[in-house]
Structure 1
Amino acid sequence: MTETAPAPQAPQPHTAADGRSRADGVLREILRGSMVTSALALVCALVIGGVLIALTDEDVQAAAGYFFARPGDTFAAIGHAVLGGYEALFRGSIYNARAEDFLTGIRPFTNTLGAAAPLIAAGLGVAVAFRVGLFNIGAQGQIVFGAAFTALLTFRLDLPMALQLPITLAAGIVGGAIWAGIVGLLKARTGAHEVILTIMLNYVAVLLVDWMVSTQGVLQKAGTAQPISDATPAGARFPDLLERYPNLDLGFLIVLAATVFVWWLLERSSLGLRMRAVGENPRAAKTAGISVPRIYVYAMLFAGGLAGLAAMNQVQGAVTTGFNSHIDAGIGFDAITVALLGRSRAWGTFAAGILFGALKAGAYQMQAFGIPVDFVLVVQAIVVLFVAAPPLVRAIFFLPKDDGDKSARARSRAARKAVAQ
C-alpha cells in the first residue's frame, strides 16, 4: 500500500501579533544602541547640571528660606535659574534670538564650530587608538610637540601663502605623528603600556616646549623675555570662511575632511579592517596573519597626526599671536571625553565635538547670567560618568539590557570558575 504525500499547506497569513513582535524587536534593538545610550547620558548630565544650578543660585537659596510659607516663590526661582541658565547656553552657542537679524543671530553657532574643530581633530586621534585597543591619553603632548615642530621648521620660511599654509599644516601633522609614533614603536617593540608612555611623554613635551619658548634662538620671540614663540606667519594663517564670522575658518573644513578620511579608514579600508580586528582580539588577529605590532605603530601615527591637526587649528586659526606650552588649552584631555561620547566612531566623535564646542562657546553667556564658567567642566565630567557606565543609564531609563553586558557577565563567570578550579 503506497502512502500518499501530504497536501501542501497554504502559507499562513502574518498576524497582527507577528507584526507587533517584529516591531517590538526593532524597537528593542534601537533602544540597545549606543547612540540612544549616549543621548540619554547627556540628558542625565543636563538634569544633574540643572539641580546644581538650582542649589547654587542665590535667589533659590533665599526663596527656600520661607518655602513653607510661599512654596511658589521657590519653584519660580528654580525655574528662572535653570531655564535661564540653559537659555543663556543656547544663546551663546546656537542662536541668539535677541540679535538684530538672522545672520547676526547665528554667529554663536559659528563660534561653536570654531571651538569644536580642534576638539574633533584630537578626538578622532583618540578614537582611532581606541578602535585598535590602545588607550591614547597623550594628545596633550602630541598637540604641544606638533605646534613646536611646525614653528621650528616653517615659521621663518617667509613663503607665499599658497606654499606657507600647507607646509605649516603638514609640519604640524608630522610633528604630532612623530611624538605619538614613539609610543607606538615602544609598544610594538617592548610591549610597554601605552598609558604610562603617553603620560610620561605629555610631561616631556610640555617641559621641552617650556624650554624652547624660554630660550632665545630656539622658539622664544625676539626682543622679549616672556616665554612665548613668534607669531604665526601671515601666510600660514587659516583664512576665514566668511568675513562676517571670524571664528570660523578653513580649519573647520580641514577637520571635516579628516572626519571623512577616518570614517573611510576605519570602516571601508583593508587597513581599517585589520585595525579593528586587532582591537577586538589581538591574539586572533595574530593567528589570522595580521602583524599586531605594525598595526599599533600605524594607529599611533594616525592618532598623533590628528592631534597635530588639532594643534594647527590652534596655531593657524585660534592663537596666532604666539604660543607656549599651554597651547593645547585642555583640548588633549577633552578629546578623551569626545571620543568616549562618540563611541570611537568617526561621525559620533564629530557630533560629540560639536556638542563640547557648544558647551565651551556658551559658557561665557552662562557666566554673564551668573553661573560660573566651571559649570561646563562639571557637565562634561558627568557626561563621562554616564557614558562610561551604560548599564547605569539603561537602569535609570528602564531600557533593555545589551547583549554585550550579558556576554561580559558570562565571561566573568567563566573566569571565576576557572580560578576556583
Structure 2
Amino acid sequence: MSAAKPAPPSGATDPAPGPERPAGSKSGNGDRAAQVLREVSTGTFGVTFLAFVLALVIGGLLIIAVDDDVADAASYLFARPADFFTAAWSAVSEAYAALFRGAVFNYEASTVSGAIKPLTETMTAATPLIIAALGVAVGFRAGLFNIGAQGQVIMGATIAGFVGFTWNLPVGIHLLVALLGGVIAGGLWAGIAGLLKARTGAHEVIVTIMLNYVALYLLQFLLTTDAFSTGNQPKSPSVKSTAQLPLLLGDGFRLNAGFLLAILSAVFVWWLMSRSTIGFRFRAVGSNAHAARTAGMSVTATFVLVMIVSGALAGLAGATQVLGTEKFLTDGIAGSLGFDAITVALLGRSRPLGIFLAGLLYGGLNVGGRVMEVSTGTPIDIVLVIQSLVVLFIAAPPLVRAIFHLPAPRTGASKEVAA
C-alpha cells in the first residue's frame, strides 16, 4: 500500500502534517520526541506570566524561611503574631526591592546615570544570553536538541578573541572580521554534531555535550601556549581597541553594540523561521521529519544546516562576550552562558520576541540578585531557585493551569504559529 500523500501547507507558514505511521516505529519515536519538544517550547503569555509569579511567591517563602528577624519573631508567634507577619513582609519586600534596584532602576541614586545604570547592566548581561538562546531555539523548532551551545560559545569567543588580540586590521574591518571568526567557529563546531547525526545517526544531545568538554579543555590548553597566554596566569592579551565593540552610552556604562547585534539577531531569526524557504524547511522537518522526507526535502542536509545556523548564533554570542564585555580570554569566558541559553529559549517559548524578553528577565535576575545579596544579606541562591522554578513551571503548563484553575487549552493549541 502506497504511503499517503502529505496535505499541502495551511497558509504560508505552517508545515504540512505527515502521514500516519505504525506506533512504535523509529520515525514515530522521533516525531513523538519532536512533539514533546514543541509542547514544552510553545504556550500562552498568560501561563508564562503566572509561572513567573508563582516562582516569585515560592522565592518569597524561601526568603522568609532564611531571614533571621523572621526566625526571631517566629519564636513568640502565638504571643504577638503581628510581629511575625511584619517581619516576613519586610524581609520579602526589601529583598525584591533590592532586586528591582539592581536590575531595573535605582530610585535611591542621586544622579540620572546612577539610576539607569542597573538597566544597562541588565541589557549587557542579557546580550550573549539572547543571541545564544536564539541559536538554541532554531534547533528546538527544527526538532533538534542542541545542548552544545556552551561549547559553541567557547569556540566563538576563542577565535574572535584570537583575531582581536593578534591581527592588525583597520578600524571597523578588524571588528567585523573578529565577529565573523566567532560566527564561523561556532557554526563549524555545531556542524560536527549535525554531520554526525546525518551520516551516522549519532544523537545530537550526546555529541554536543561531549563537544562542550572538548571546547573547554581545548581553550584551557590554548591558554597555556605562547600564542594565547600573557604569562603564568591562564589569561590572554586584551583585545585591541580596533576589534572592541563600541560602547553605546559612554565610558560610564558597559553597554556596548553587542546589544544591537542581539536585536538584529532576533529580527534575523524571525525572518528566517517565519518568512524564508529555509525556515519553512526547518519547521517542516521539526514537525514531521517523515512527511518532510516524503515531500522531497533532504532531512539529513537540513539537520546539518540547522546545527550550523544554531552554532553560528552561539558563536556570535561568544564573540560579543569577549569583544564587548570581557575584552580577554579566560577558561571561564563563557561562564554558564550556553546552559542558561537553553533556559532562556524555553522561557521565551522558542520565539524571537519571547527570547528577547526572557533574556532581559534572566539577565536582570542575575544582576539584581547580586545587589539583593549585598543589600539585604539574602543568599543569591534564592535567585537561582527562582530561575529554576520558572523553568520548571514553564515546562509544565498543566501544573500552572491546575494551580490557578485555568481551563485546558483547546485541541490543536500546540499548533505552531508564525513568530
Q: Identify if the C-alpha distance between structure 1 residues 363 and 407 changes in structure 2 by more than 3 Å, giving closer, same or farther.
A: closer
Question: What is the CA RMSD across the aligned residues, in angstroms?
Answer: 1.7
Deviation at 1:234, TM superposition (A): 1.4
What is residue 68 of structure 2 aligned with on the other side? 58
Identity, in percent, stands at: 51
Would the aligned equivalents of 2:193 and 2:207 in 1 still touch at CA under 8 Å?
A: yes
What is residue 84 of structure 2 aligned with on the other side? 74
Counterpart residue identity of residue 249, structure 2: L
TM-score scaled by length of structure 2: 0.86
Match of 1:219 among 228, 231, 238: 228
- Which is further off, 398-407 or 332-341? 398-407
CA distance in 2: counterparts of 1:324 and 1:376, whole angstroms: 26
How do residues 10-89 of structure 1 correspond to structure 2 at under 5 angstroms?
33-89=43-99
Counterpart residue identity of residue 203, structure 2: H
Deviation at 1:133, TM superposition (A): 0.5
- Which is further off, 333-342 or 234-243? 234-243
Q: Identify if the C-alpha distance between structure 1 residues 182 and 323 changes in structure 2 by more than 3 Å, giving closer, same or farther.
A: same
What is residue 28 of structure 2 aligned with on the other side? none
DSSP 3-state at the match of 1:372:
coil
CA distance in 2: counterparts of 1:271 and 1:378, whole angstroms: 38
Counterpart residue identity of residue 84, structure 1: E
- How many residues are treated as equivalent by the alignment? 373
Counterpart residue identity of residue 228, structure 2: L
DSSP 3-state at the match of 1:136:
coil
What is residue 351 of structure 2 aligned with on the other side? 345
2:315 is the alignment partner of 1:305: no
What is residue 295 of structure 2 aligned with on the other side? 288
Would the aligned equivalents of 1:259 and 1:346 in 2 still touch at CA under 8 Å?
A: yes
2:372 is the alignment partner of 1:366: yes
CA distance in 2: counterparts of 1:375 and 1:173, whole angstroms: 35
CA distance in 2: counterparts of 1:245 and 1:298, whole angstroms: 41
Would the aligned equivalents of 1:110 and 1:245 in 2 still touch at CA under 8 Å?
A: no
Match of 1:208 among 218, 222, 225: 218
CA distance in 2: counterparts of 1:342 and 1:138, whole angstroms: 19
Structure 2 stretches lacking a partner, 5+ long: 1-41
2:256 is the alignment partner of 1:234: no
Q: Identify if the C-alpha distance between structure 1 residues 92 and 154 changes in structure 2 by more than 3 Å, giving closer, same or farther.
A: closer
- Which is further off, 158-167 or 112-121? 158-167
How do residues 19-418 of structure 1 correspond to structure 2 at under 5 angstroms?
33-216=43-226, 218-221=227-230, 224-243=231-250, 245-320=252-327, 322-368=328-374, 369-403=376-410
Counterpart residue identity of residue 283, structure 2: R
Q: Identify if the C-alpha distance between structure 1 residues 234 and 406 changes in structure 2 by more than 3 Å, giving closer, same or farther.
A: closer
CA distance in 2: counterparts of 1:79 and 1:308, whole angstroms: 44
1:18-69 deviation digits (Å, cap 9, x = unpaired): xxxxxxxxxxxxxx95211111111111111011011011111111011001
Would the aligned equivalents of 1:114 and 1:252 in 2 still touch at CA under 8 Å?
A: yes
Deviation at 1:407, TM superposition (A): 9.0
Would the aligned equivalents of 1:151 and 1:219 in 2 still touch at CA under 8 Å?
A: no
DSSP 3-state at the match of 1:242:
coil
CA distance in 1: counterparts of 2:205 and 2:302, whole angstroms: 17
What is residue 31 of structure 2 aligned with on the other side? none
Would the aligned equivalents of 1:142 and 1:308 in 2 still touch at CA under 8 Å?
A: yes
1:134-175 deviation digits (Å, cap 9, x = unpaired): 111101100111122223445311222221111111101111
Deviation at 1:244, TM superposition (A): 5.8
Deviation at 1:101, TM superposition (A): 3.7
CA distance in 2: counterparts of 1:97 and 1:361, whole angstroms: 16
Would the aligned equivalents of 2:161 and 2:319 in 1 still touch at CA under 8 Å?
A: no
Would the aligned equivalents of 1:154 and 1:171 in 2 still touch at CA under 8 Å?
A: no
CA distance in 1: counterparts of 2:71 and 2:196, whole angstroms: 55
DSSP 3-state at the match of 2:206:
helix
Deviation at 1:340, TM superposition (A): 0.3
1:227-279 deviation digits (Å, cap 9, x = unpaired): 11121111111111111652211110011101100011011111111111111
Q: Structure with the greater relative contact order (CA < 8 A, sep ≥ 6): 1 or 2?
A: 2
Deviation at 1:335, TM superposition (A): 0.4
DSSP 3-state at the match of 1:371:
coil
Q: Computing the radius of gyration over CA atoms, which structure comes out larger, 1 or 2?
A: 1
CA distance in 2: counterparts of 1:389 and 1:404, whole angstroms: 17
Would the aligned equivalents of 2:159 and 2:178 in 1 still touch at CA under 8 Å?
A: no
CA distance in 2: counterparts of 1:314 and 1:153, whole angstroms: 14
1:289-318 deviation digits (Å, cap 9, x = unpaired): 111111111111111111111111210111
